[in-house]
Each structure stands twice: as C-alpha cells, then as structure tokens.
C-alpha cells in the first residue's frame, strides 16, 4: 500500500471505532480484548482506572502504555498529545498541568475530534482543545509546547522521520517528549505487513526498535531513555490468517519480537557564550 492508502485505512478504521460505544471499543484495534472488532488479539492497553484524570468515556482502550507516567509533566506546562483519540491522555495530562497549564490534542480523524469535544463538554475544562491535523504536518507554530506525548500512534504514521522532525519543531527549547509505541525486533512476514487490519491494529506499521531509537537521535533529540518495555504476543490463529503453515513455522523459528516501549527524549538547545 502507498502512504496515501495507509492513511486512508487508518482514518477509516479509527473513524469506525470513534462511532462505536466504549464497550464495543474494548474489542477494537489495540483494545484490551481484540483487534479491529475481532476478539482474538490482545494489545497491551495499560490500566488507567487508578490514574488521576482518567475519563472512562474517553478511554477507548487504544493505548499500549501510559506515557504520562514518565513524561515529567509539571503544573503550568503546555502539553501536546499526538493522536489524541477521544481525549483520555489529554484529561490525564490536564490533571497534572492544572488550571495554569494548557493541553492540546491532535488527531486526523474527524470522528475522534467530535467524540473528544463531546467528552470535553462534560468536564467544563477551558484549557483543553482538540485540533484536526496530521502528525507529519502539525498545524501549530514552532517552539509551542513544553511536553509532547503520544500513545500507540506513531507506529501508524507512514513517514516517521517527518513525525519526529515535527515533534522537535513544536517543542520549546529544552522541552521533551514521552511516547508509548510498538516496535519490532526481527521482521514480520510481508503478508502480515501488508494486511490493512494488522496495520490499523498497530503492529504492521511498527519499526525496528533499533531503527526507531536511531531515528530519534538522528532528529537531534538527546537523553533518549526507554522507561518501560513489554512484549506483545500475536495468537497463532491470527498469524495463520495471513501466512501459510510453512511460513508460520519459519516465523516462529526466527524469534521475531513485538514490543511496546515507552521512550522519552529532550530537545536540548546549547547555551550560547
């Protein structure tokens, strides 16, 4: 698929998810019970219930970590959430930045923006807003945010080099990001990579872990730290939908690993003089 096709697939899949109830989304892509409506593939969906600011109406079970846990967000910070969905991580971030701070959610699915604004309207908060836009071309000025967060979204972006360049651009000098994402160790079978269902399920769009970290460093970020790493297991019956038994055997023998990582890095600007 071309980059345009991939974006179309993701937009359609997540538009459908946004139109479902929270209960149905528990068995949707990256949810706690299934992938793309099929209750056979479990992503990580770290538990939010005990997290301050958690909004059950905004929690669609689409994450693969808790980026706010390691983001070092402070009272009064300005925070950008990339791929904000129905707004759950934005509400969590808002509980940290308080009334003095500002939280912006960015998503390129119109249905998600509508759902997020519906959830926002119930809270009465005035320092959260949701923007429609593309992570590869973030519609905000340079040097705007103290912290950028994202939860299981960057793997869905076709041009990750552009995405990290945009994160660097919109961060203030000495700002930082904290992202939970899906990465690989080894290679997925081509049939799995090309499957639209798996792509929108956050796996087939994943990069090699070493390439992912190298890209962050190449963009200019410093102090790259992996705070948390968890393995993701794909059920055998799901893989066999896409590959033959012979390919399945070879895939198992090569020891490919699929992981959720939570990584942070800083935009360090040298002090002149």
User: Phi and psi dihedrals of 211, rounded to 5?
Assistant: -65, -40
Whether 17 shows a pLDDT value over 60: the answer reads yes
114 found inside a domain: yes
Whether 150 shows a pLDDT value over 90: the answer reads yes
pLDDT, residue 40, reads 36
pLDDT, residue 273, reads 52
Whether 43 shows a pLDDT value over 60: the answer reads no
Higher-pLDDT residue of 75, 233: 75
Give the tens place of pLDDT for each residue, 228-250: 998 887 778 878 888 899 888 88
Q: How many domains does the chain have?
A: 1
Contacts of 244 (CB under 8 A, 6+ apart): none
Domain containing residue 123: CATH number: 3.40.50.150
pLDDT over 70, % of the chain: 86
Higher-pLDDT residue of 242, 199: 242
pLDDT over 90, % of the chain: 55
Instruction: Determine the structural domain holding residue 79 and report its residue range.
Output: 3-266
18 found inside a domain: yes
Contact between 234 and 41 under an 8 Å Cβ cutoff? The reply is yes
Tell which residue, 152, 115, 151, 156, has the closest CA to residue 134. 156
Whether 20 shows a pLDDT value over 50: the answer reads yes
pTM: 0.87
272 found inside a domain: no
171 found inside a domain: yes
Helices 110-121 and 3-19: angle between axes, nearest 10 degrees: 30
271 found inside a domain: no
């Amino acid at each position: 698929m071309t980059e345009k096709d991939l974006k179309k697939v993701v937009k359609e899949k997540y538009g459908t998810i946004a139109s479902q109830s929270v209960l149905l989304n528990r068995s949707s892509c990256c949810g706690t019970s299934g992938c793309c409506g099929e209750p056979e593939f479990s992503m990580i969906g770290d538990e939010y219930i005990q997290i301050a600011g958690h909004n059950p109406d905004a929690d669609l079970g689409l994450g693969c970590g808790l980026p706010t846990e390691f983001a070092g967000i402070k009272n009064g910070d300005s925070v950008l959430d990339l791929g904000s969905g129905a707004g759950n991580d934005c509400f969590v971030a808002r509980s940290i930045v308080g009334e003095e701070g500002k939280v912006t959610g960015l998503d390129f699915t119109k249905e998600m923006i509508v759902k997020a604004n519906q959830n926002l309207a119930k809270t009465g908060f005035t320092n959260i807003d949701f923007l429609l836009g593309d992570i590869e071309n973030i519609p905000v000025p340079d040097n705007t945010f103290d912290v950028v967060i994202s939860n299981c979204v960057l793997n869905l972006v076709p041009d990750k080099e552009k995405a990290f360049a945009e994160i660097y651009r919109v961060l203030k000098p000495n700002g930082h990001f904290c992202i939970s994402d899906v990465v690989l160790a080894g290679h997925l079978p081509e049939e799995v990579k090309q499957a639209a269902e798996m792509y929108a399920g956050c796996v087939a769009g994943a990069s090699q872990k070493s390439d992912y970290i190298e890209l962050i460093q190449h963009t200019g970020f410093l102090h790259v730290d992996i705070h948390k790493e968890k393995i993701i297991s794909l059920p055998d019956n799901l893989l066999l939908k896409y590959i033959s038994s012979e390919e399945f055997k070879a895939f198992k023998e090569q020891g490919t690993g699929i992981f959720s990582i939570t990584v942070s890095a800083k935009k360090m600007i040298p002090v002149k003089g």
